[in-house]
Amino acid sequence: MTKRRHTAPRSRRRLDRHALYEVAVQGVDWDLDFLERVWRYRNPAREPRLFREDFCSTAALATAWVRRGRDRRAWGVDLDPEPLAWARRHRLPWAREAAKRVTLVRGDVRQARRPAVDVACALNFSWWVFHERTDLVRYLRAARASLKPRGVLVMNLFGGGDAERALVERTRKRAEHSPDGTPLPRFTYVWEHASLNPVDRRLLAHIHFELPNGRRLGRAFTYDWRMYTIPELRDALVEAGFSHFEVWAEGWDARAKSGNGVLYKRATLDNEDTWIAYAVATR
């Protein structure tokens, strides 16, 4: 007699916070397109091959990078072993031969890495984990030392009036699949600013996930950040030895009254309720 495998009903299955996060937050191809664009802006004569994703979490960018070319290699660095284990279990086996060109490193991003890479990034505001400026500069010096000549480091940050007060934003997300093919239900992504202390710019924020059946994954992720400004980042990059600094931000579609999805190099930014900017530094 063949034993039947019993599986929990979909509504009772454990929610995978990392898979939900990737659907809610990450735009992998959009990010990589921009990274390649700024690389070619500074280095039009050669293609980038080597990439490092700092604070890589589940290594979505690093894995997608190597799938864009057989001569590409990527390193993902993170101090937390849990998302690295998740990447090894749920992402790399499905990347097939490309997975051999991804190296996941559990380590401190404030330590210089070899081999040197063409492009490195610290996205999703992950570098805000450095509350002390000395730690930020130490990271930036290590990042610079880990880049090839004329290599680029890309970071992002946000601000604006709404970003500096308590808020809760809800965004509906459609049903998709996780990297290993597991179906994910439609859900609501909830971004919460719990508090901001103007004295030390300490921001406490949470991510929650809500499903239509009433289930809720509260505080799936919690962030204890220092909310740096663009001039603070620029000055730290200069101190760390970077030779060039640029700010890029999304353009505006006046007819649609929304962003147009394209980043442009900017000398000024409108002081909107909320803005997101990308900092590009060249070694």
> Is position 2 within any domain?
no
Co-location of 94 and 106 in the same domain: yes
Distances (CA, A) of 281 to 32, 107, 177, 217, 234: 16, 23, 35, 37, 9
User: Nearest 5°: CA angle at 160, between 157 and 161?
Assistant: 145
Residue 1 maps to a domain: no
Over the stretch 20-32, which tens digit does the pLDDT of each residue have? 999 999 999 999 9
For residues 246 and 280, the answer to whether their CB atoms sit within 8 Å is yes
Q: How confident is the model at residue 163 (pLDDT cuts 50, 70, 90)?
A: very high
Q: What is the pLDDT of residue 13?
A: 58
Q: Where are the beta strands (DSSP E) in 20-133?
A: 50-54, 73-78, 102-106, 117-122
Confidence of residue 272 (pLDDT cuts 50, 70, 90): confident
Point out the domain boundary residue: 180, 195, 225. 225
Residue 258 has pLDDT above 80, yes or no: no
Model confidence over 121-136: pLDDT tens digits?
Answer: 999 999 999 999 999 9
Distance from C-alpha of 140 to C-alpha of 242, rounded to nearest angstrom: 9
pLDDT band at 5 (very low <50, low <70, confident <90, very high): very low
135 and 49 together in one domain: yes
Do 240 and 112 share a domain, yes or no? yes
According to DSSP, the residues that pair with 159 across neighbouring strands are 275
Domain match, 221 and 238 both: no
State residue 9's pLDDT score.
44
| 3 is a domain residue | no
- Total count of domains within the chain: 2
Domain that includes residue 246, residue range = 17-158+227-282
Structure tokens at 282: 């060249």
Model confidence, pTM: 0.92
Q: How distant, in Å, are the alpha carbons of 61, 151, 207, 283 from that of 43? A: 21, 8, 37, 12
- Is residue 116 domain-shared with residue 197, that is, in the same domain? no
Assess if residue 126 is contained within a domain.
yes
Summary mean pLDDT of the chain:
93
**Same domain flag for 110 and 250:** yes
The predicted-structure confidence for 175-213, as pLDDT tens digits, reads as follows 999 999 999 999 999 999 999 999 999 999 999 999 988
Q: Which residues of 205-233 are buried (b: 16+ CB within 10 A; e: fewer)?
A: bbbbbbbeeeeebeebbebebbbbeeeeb
Shared domain for 82 and 208, answered yes or no, is no
Q: Are residues 151 and 169 in the same domain?
A: no
Token reading at 66: 């190597």
Clarify whether residues 214 and 275 are in a common domain.
no
68: left (phi over 0), alpha (psi -120 to 50) or beta: alpha
Instruction: Give the CATH number for residue 50.
Output: 3.40.50.150
- Supply 79's token pair: 């101090």
**Residues 35 and 63 reside in one and the same domain:** yes
**Statement to judge: residues 132 and 239 lie in one domain:** yes
Percentage of the chain surpassing pLDDT 70? 94
For Cα atoms 202, 208, 214, give the angle at the middle one, nearest 5 degrees.
155
pLDDT at residue 254, rounded to an integer? 66
